[in-house]
Structures are given as C-alpha cells and as structure tokens.
Amino acid sequence: MESRKILEKKAKPKKKLVGHKQHTLHLLRKMLLIRRFEEKAGELYTLLKIRGFLHLYIGEEAVAVGVMEALKPEDAVVATYREHGHALARGMSASAIMAEMYGKQEGCSRGRGGSMHLFDALTRFYGGNAIVGGGLPLAAGLALADKMQRKPRLTCCFFGEGAMAEGEFHETMNLSALWQLPVLFVCENNLYAMGTALERSESVTNLIEKTKAYGVEGSSVDGMDVVAVEGAAKKAASYVRTQQRPYFLECKTYRFRAHSMFDAELYRSKSEVETWKQKDPITTFIKSLKDQKIITKDVLNKLEREISQEIQQAVDFAEQGTWEPVEELSRFVYSEPKPL
C-alpha cells in the first residue's frame, strides 16, 4: 500500500542544500511562520476566539513554501480549505488572515469568509475554497482567461488527493489538456481524504497514472523536504511556462493534526502519526542547516522571537478589529453600482 511504502522508506541522507544562506533561512522562516501561526490558531479556536471550521496545515509546510518559490507575482494561486499555509507562503499578511478568522471587517474577506475563504487580489490568491475539488475548475478558468488574453503567466492549483475522486478533477484535467492551459496542478497527498485512506477510495493509487490518462505529464516528490519540493516545483513550473501545457505535481506529505477540530481521528493510529513526525519538514530542515553550519542556536532563537512577535501583532490586530454592522449584512448580495 502507498502509505506503507512511504513509511517503510528509510530517511535518505539530505543532499547538500542548494542556494545560499539567505535563501535557506528564508525557507525556514516561512515554514516556521506557518507552523507557529497554525499552533496559535488552534489555541485560539479552543478559546472560542475563532468559530466555524478550522483545518490546520501542520506537517505540510514544506509543500506550500517550496511550491511558492517557483511562482512569479503575476501568477495566480487557487487553494483548498486547508489554506492558511498557502496564503502565508504567498505573502499575505498574517494580520489580515487572523482578522478574517476572527470574523472582523479588517480581514482579507471582510470577515465574511472565515478560515476556508481567504482571498487577496493583490497577491492573486483566489481562495480558499470550502468545496472539495472546487478550486480545480476555477484554476482552469483563470488559466483560460490568461491564454485568451495572451498573458504569459500560469495558475497554480493546490488540492488534496481526495479531490481526485471528484468529477471536477476529471473534467478539469480533460479540458486543461485539450485546451493546453498553463496550470500547475499540485496534489498534496497526505494519504487521507478526511478520514478515508487513499487505498479505500481510489482503485488506482498511483496518482501519476491517472493524470497520464488525460495526457497530462506529472511527477512525485517528497513533500516533507522543502528543498526537494522547491526543485520539483521549479521544473514543473518551467514546463508549464515553456510548453504552455498543464503539469501534475504530487507532493507526498502528511498532516500531523486531525482533519479538523471536530475529528476524533479514529481512522489512523497514534504510532503512525508519530512515525511520520520523524520526517517533520521543519525539524529535519533545521538539522540539515545545523549540520552544514548554516544556522546556529542563536540565529534560530532570534528567528523564533521575530515570528512570535509577528503572530502576536496579528492576534492584537484581530482583537482590535471591528464587527460588521448588522445593517450591512445584505451588502454585496448584488453588485454595487459603479460611480459615473
């Protein structure tokens, strides 16, 4: 089984890190920011500061951070409902995200979307989609618009392996290949579609084979290794840009926390989770940096303090935000007339 193959795979010695010191510290900072933001979000949820649904990204940070390094500012990004990490890696403000999760007007979606509907036109981050697979046709639409307007950019679409059982996945793959759309499809294969294991929901667990059936090229990468993800994503993005065709990148990863805050996690054992934590993308990356004398304990502590301050500022910003007036609740149901 796929999950067993990954678990049995012994940790390979880390390759020599590419890039210079500044870049590796940049990758680490991004992953730490996501991890600490998520930990704070989980804490705030238990305090009832954040309501509704909350899906944490802890364990999968290397995917968002590595892939974003392959994108340009003009590219578009479409994500899932587990998208806090994507949004932070894309460059969205932690304060705007936290305020959104608080439901405050200062949030990136005016507090109307919450955790699953982050949106930011400035960074071309088009959600945050609550529907499984719902972002796939949106990504194809964005890419089609770029193609018709002859704009040299791509759309990156994140989704989980559970979305591959949805009709939207197959329709989008077919049309993207048929119309030769510049879409980088990034599948975050964390082995469980909510509580259903991959081998219990897919007759073909080799996900690359599924996309090849539509004529879409693809590859797999260790999603717990940020350097490997960055390298694979850059190759994939280059293919999309030069060939003007879609590409499928499978990132094999694992979420350490439950599917959502209401998940009792009866579908997997604690020992399995602990085994995967040995491949923690942050701790293994820090070890690599220390082994190569790229980072010291003092530098790491300084980084942690800076991130802690940034997150505290985000929480303060959300706490001090404003609730939307009741009289405005029906606003935006219909488009507002533009001034003449």
Question: The dihedral of CA 124, 125, 127, 132: what is its sign?
Answer: positive
Per-residue confidence (pLDDT) for residue 340, from 0 to 100:
74
Q: What is the pLDDT of residue 3?
A: 47
- Given a cut of 90, is residue 28 above it in pLDDT? yes
Distances (CA, A) of 290 to 25, 114, 225, 304: 11, 38, 16, 16
Q: Which two tokens stand for residue 304?
A: 């942690």
pLDDT exceeds cutoff 70 at 12: no
Place of tokens 């340009």: 72
Whether the Cβ atoms of residue 14 and residue 286 lie closer than 8 Å to each other: no
**How confident is the model at residue 18, as a pLDDT?**
47
Render pLDDT for 117-136 as a digit per residue (tens, 0 to 9): 999 999 999 999 999 999 99
Banded pLDDT at 267 (limits 50, 70, 90): very high
Q: What is the pLDDT of residues 68-86, one digit of tens each?
A: 999 999 999 999 999 999 9
164 φ/ψ angles, rounded to the nearest 5 degrees: -75, -10
| Band of residue 329 on the pLDDT scale cut at 50, 70, 90 | confident
Contact call for residues 191 and 180 (beta carbons, < 8 A):
no
CA distances from 21 to 225, 232, 283 (A): 17, 20, 17
* pLDDT level of residue 16 (50, 70, 90 thresholds): low
- Kindly state the percentage of the chain with pLDDT values over 90: 87
**What distance in Å separates the CA atoms of residue 302 and residue 298, rounded to the nearest whole number?**
6
In the chain, DSSP assigns E strands to 76-78, 155-160, 183-189, 192-193, 196-197, 217-222, 247-252
State the amino acid at position 95 in one-letter form: S
Q: Which CA distances in Å does 136 have to 45, 70, 77, 203? A: 29, 19, 11, 21
Which pLDDT score is estimated for 1?
A: 44
Contacts of 333 (CB under 8 A, 6+ apart): none
Average pLDDT over residues 281-285: 97
| Predicted pLDDT of residue 19 | 54
Task: Give residue 21's pLDDT.
Answer: 87
Contact at 8 Å (CB) between 213 and 186?
no
Burial of 10: CB neighbours in 10 Å, binned 0-12, 13-18, 19+: exposed
State the pLDDT confidence band at 248, using cuts at 50, 70 and 90: very high
Question: Is the per-residue pLDDT at 257 higher than 70?
Answer: yes
What's the pLDDT score for residue 217? 97
Give me the pLDDT at residue 338, please: 80
User: Nearest-5° angle of CA 92, CA 78, CA 231?
Assistant: 80
pLDDT, residue 101, reads: 97
